[in-house]
């Protein structure tokens, strides 16, 4: 079955520092992969997605992610974090008609 | 997001009572989903629909039923609410399957006492 693992439950970074959130997937074929962000009390917003082509994907809000088949990973990156990036981030993999989500990584941004 | 509305936004109910949550969309999307979100578990799929009257179970469907009598509405019913069903429930819509990505509603916070 398709599944997603986000190894880091919480991450703290300083404002202006770079960010990398990890995501590992389990899937037999080429996966459909997504990153979503959830601000407190809100629904989830799609940041970016990958399903074929260039393995480096650009998303909204300055985020990017790189698909690495050899490592079964789809890590999310941002070169310089802003305080407004504090939120919960979810990686997801396509599974038939639905998505399977990881358990999320909570990002705290310090001054 | 515009185009998808969940109601109610908050509800407190007693153990053993039936509860229905509503998801309404104005996007005419074929696919609709119900997820629950719990700390430490992320989002887990309860049920989904791939068309009017076409539904299927997800990972955590026990104790829940759904109905979709028209394209725009997807109802989630807790047949007899239990404290373990205290959660935040999210509806999502998708136009044509998994490669597009979902649009999520704002969620319903349900407390079963």
- pLDDT string in tens for chain B (113-residue length): 469 999 999 999 999 999 999 999 999 999 999 999 998 899 999 999 999 999 999 999 999 999 999 999 999 999 999 999 999 999 999 877 556 678 899 999 999 99
Helices (H) and strands (E) in chain B, counts: 0, 11
Taking an 8 Å cut-off on Cβ atoms, the answer to whether B101 and A90 are in contact is no
B14 Cα to chain A: minimum distance (Å): 23
Shortest Cα distance, chain B CAs vs residue A91, angstroms: 10
Contact residues on chain A for B50, CB-CB shorter than 8 A: 97
Q: How far apart are the first and last CA of chain B?
A: 30
Three-state DSSP at B84 gives: helix
| Predicted pLDDT at A78 | 98
* Three-state secondary structure of chain A: CCEEECCCCEEEEECCCCEEECCEEECCCCCCEEEEEECCCCCEEEEEEECCCCCEEECHHHCEEEEEHHHCEEEEEECCCCHHHCEEEEEEEEECCEEEECCCEEEEEEC
Closest residue in B to A41 (Cα) is B106
């Amino acid at each position: 079955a398709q599944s997603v693992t986000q190894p880091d439950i919480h991450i703290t970074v300083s404002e202006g520092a770079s960010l990398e959130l990890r995501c590992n997937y389990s899937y037999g074929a080429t996966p459909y992969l997504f990153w979503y962000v959830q601000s407190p009390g809100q629904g989830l917003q799609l940041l970016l997605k990958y399903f074929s082509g260039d393995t480096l994907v650009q998303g909204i809000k300055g985020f990017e992610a790189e698909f690495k088949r050899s490592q079964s990973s789809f890590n999310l990156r941002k070169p310089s974090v802003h305080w407004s990036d504090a939120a919960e981030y979810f990686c997801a993999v396509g599974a038939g008609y639905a998505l399977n989500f990881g358990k999320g990584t909570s990002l705290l941004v310090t001054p | 997001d515009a185009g998808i509305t969940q109601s109610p936004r908050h509800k407190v109910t007693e153990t053993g009572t039936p509860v229905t949550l509503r998801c309404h969309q104005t996007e005419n999307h074929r696919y609709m989903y119900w997820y629950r979100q719990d700390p430490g578990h992320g989002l887990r799929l309860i049920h989904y629909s791939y068309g009017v009257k076409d539904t299927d179970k997800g990972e955590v469907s026990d104790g829940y039923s759904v109905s979709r009598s028209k394209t725009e509405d997807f109802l989630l019913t807790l047949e007899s609410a239990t404290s373990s069903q205290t959660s935040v429930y999210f509806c999502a819509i998708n136009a044509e399957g998994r490669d597009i990505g979902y649009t999520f509603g704002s969620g319903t916070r349900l407390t079963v006492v």
